[in-house]
Structure 1
């Protein structure tokens, strides 16, 4: 949605805001032009994202300790930032013995000259510049937000895979130290000269490991189209073939999705207009009322779409579509008023729904 800044959207996915950004890692060239531009840009960004005044972001400038390493500089910068997020320790800017007076108006930025031990960093941002005006911005969120969203069984499987990768990494690092091969000088790119365009312009190109040489390289035959998962095609086709014109076949399908933060469940007028008293009571009794309201809101939108009626736009109230849990705990749909009339016109006697949220 172009109405929302990408950074705000990315934070909202995890229930975070601009105030949760605990550190900003940027270029920091110590040159007048860059420092003026970079600090100005980020101060404007935090202003636009409505960060609370007085809640300054510690800056970790990478140029002075890393120098000009082109692509490698960004990789080291990312590794340093990941360590900071995991440990919660913000390193001091070692070469910062004073802060230029021109930065005093940047109320959202601070330049620590001493190491800061925080009580935890929820999110961080990395901004890296390269030669040729090539730059990028990455949001780094503490992994606990991802782990908390995983099913327990999937998390346990992840831990096992992570353990295997950790041992492999330890083995590889140990071998490099023993064989004095930690630094490997590359004399040529991992592809033949005439393959440069084929590799760089193909998003599906992947390098493969050659155990004989111990190196990665691109083969002459590269994938050019993404794989298609057709595992369920046969089963779904058979279902449609068997029930295409039966009385039990679905008359319509509706799908909808929204960010939880984009549904104004805090607005009493919005709730009274679009939710029944029973729905409001149920959602408010849940561990995360905003999530429950959002799930029912998109469910109502999906039901509305499945009926195939002409949209009334933002003025349409959704109270005629009620989603409550049945005796078994599964969500059920009850139609009232105009929604019920439209369903009757199409011969719809039952609506099935499967909402989810994270």
Structure 2
């Protein structure tokens, strides 16, 4: 926590009597790209904030701003939080990266944590989850359960995080079902229920009986429920209100342990800039309950894959794997390095369509 200097006898007396007890609180801010009630990405980050409050009690004060667009608005909100006395600010969307760096440069005494980005500074850390590990488990279930062999994927923005997820899901589905085809629709939004619903309906009309998503609302689940005989997967949160059908499982982002750890570091004066990228093994990526709509043997196979990824026995990107154009990428038994995964800008062989610029 930043030190606050009190001047004068009156101030010293106030400190002695506890009148400045409020100042002893560590103030932690959170900025969300969607509403806290989105049922997905922002909801889970807010659950992490609530966990911080529960863990630290009156030692912390948390504040948040929801539905903050990426860009100039984000920079304004971050600046206001810093000016209001925040000791630590979590900025929880990829598009907040440059605004975070800009504001952090102006407030060197404030600590910043940026989610899913790659830039750091003396007072800026970044953190993300290996979502692609969960996508592989989803891909296995999708490949086993599709009857049309057509799987739809609603993608948000063409950044490495999203491309990794598409590739991981496809490879896992293809491994258990060589006839499977993926159709990717780019929504160019993180949270827009109308766009997400339209994308899901378009995929279903094209024959997809499985829809995966890297967008944050439950609109695709609702569209699938209306269509019938289509399965979906929760994104970032359980979305269990749509279980056992169409939502048959989910990826759950568990941010609470990380948030508690980083707040504690600020309190202890041990906070340092670092990059964190955790997955299933540390618990940052969880696999939501696999519903009874999934056959028992498929459920067992999916859980076995989850355990193998957690133990390090299996890596979702293990060769032989070629790039979409047929050029070699990973040879037999070779696994992808983190640097390539972090900057992934290509589809693997078998996926159709282009990645937008």
TM-score, structure 1 normalization: 0.23
- The structure whose residues are more often strand, as a share, is 2
Larger radius of gyration: 1
**TM superposition score normalised by structure 2:** 0.23
